[in-house]
Amino acid sequence: MGSHQPRRRQEPVPSTEGAAPDSGERFTPDRGVTAQIQEVAAARTAGWRLCVELFSPPTPDFADRLRSGDLLADLRAAVAWLGPEAERFLPVEMVLDTIVRRSRRRTHGEDLDQFTDAYRTLWPEGVVWLPRFEWMVEVCDEEADAWRRGDHEAAKVLRVGQQEYLEKELVPDFPTWAGGVDVSTTVMLYRIAARFVVTHLSFETGRDFERAIFGSSSPLGW
């Protein structure tokens, strides 16, 4: 993988052409650019939805999605908007692909039992970050909907609110917590779940949590 520092991906910027400077006039983004921004917001929603799914208590449906490759496909779709920088998620994709291939030698029940036992051992009281991930799903989806219906000002306010929320609720403590998960279990699903959220958060905020927490270590040693 590349060694460049993760940064927030540059999103399409609504054009301000045609409005007088300092006139107080609200700019109307180009329709094509607005559609692109809406698609990015929808992809970001999907990314946070995966964070929720990965850290929720395992269910039979979750095991099905892992074993069938549906979850892997959803992850790839959620990060595709990043272009070449999506390679930062390659270790996560490789482990999920290994789970798919391993499922040919294991029963659904064996996988579900392993994930459930690991989850209960790691988080007997549940994962405290879930409500925060769920909040991000909700507001990113609201932003996407605002862009879709042409309410540009509401969309911008929602975007700013997301950044403020992340800086307050996830940035201070989540990366260190994720680093603890990485060293406290041998179950690869939850090691790469932690890394997925850290990498996702790195792109959301433009800050290099991935390198700061994990360095150059690889999660691929089984």
pLDDT tens digits for 95-154? Answer: 999 999 999 999 999 999 999 999 999 999 999 999 999 999 999 999 999 999 999 999
List alpha helices for 10-129, DSSP H: 31-55, 60-68, 70-79, 90-102, 108-122
Residue 106 pLDDT: 96
Q: What is the tens place of the pLDDT at every residue in 2-35? A: 334 444 454 554 433 333 334 344 556 677 888 9
Q: Find the helix or strand (DSSP H, E) in which 196 lies.
A: helix 188-205
As a whole number, mean pLDDT of residues 207-211 equals 89
* Cα separation, 162 vs 106, whole angstroms: 41
Q: Number of structural domains, the chain?
A: 1
8 part of a folded domain: no
Q: Tell whether the model's pLDDT for residue 89 goes beyond 60.
A: yes
* Cα separation, 135 vs 188, whole angstroms: 26
174 part of a folded domain: yes
Global pTM?
0.85
As a whole number, mean pLDDT of residues 147-174 equals 97
106 part of a folded domain: yes
Residue 17 pLDDT: 39
Residue 215 pLDDT: 78
- Residue 171 banded pLDDT, cuts 50, 70, 90: very high
For 78, counting Cβ atoms within 10 Å of its Cβ (0-12 exposed, 13-18 middle, 19+ buried), the class is: buried
Give 58's contacts (C-beta < 8 A, 6+ positions apart). 112, 115, 116, 119
133 part of a folded domain: yes
206 part of a folded domain: yes
193 part of a folded domain: yes
15 part of a folded domain: no
209 part of a folded domain: yes
Residue 12 pLDDT: 52
Return the higher-pLDDT residue of 212 and 98.
Answer: 98
What domain range is 90 assigned to? 31-214
* Cα separation, 70 vs 13, whole angstroms: 32
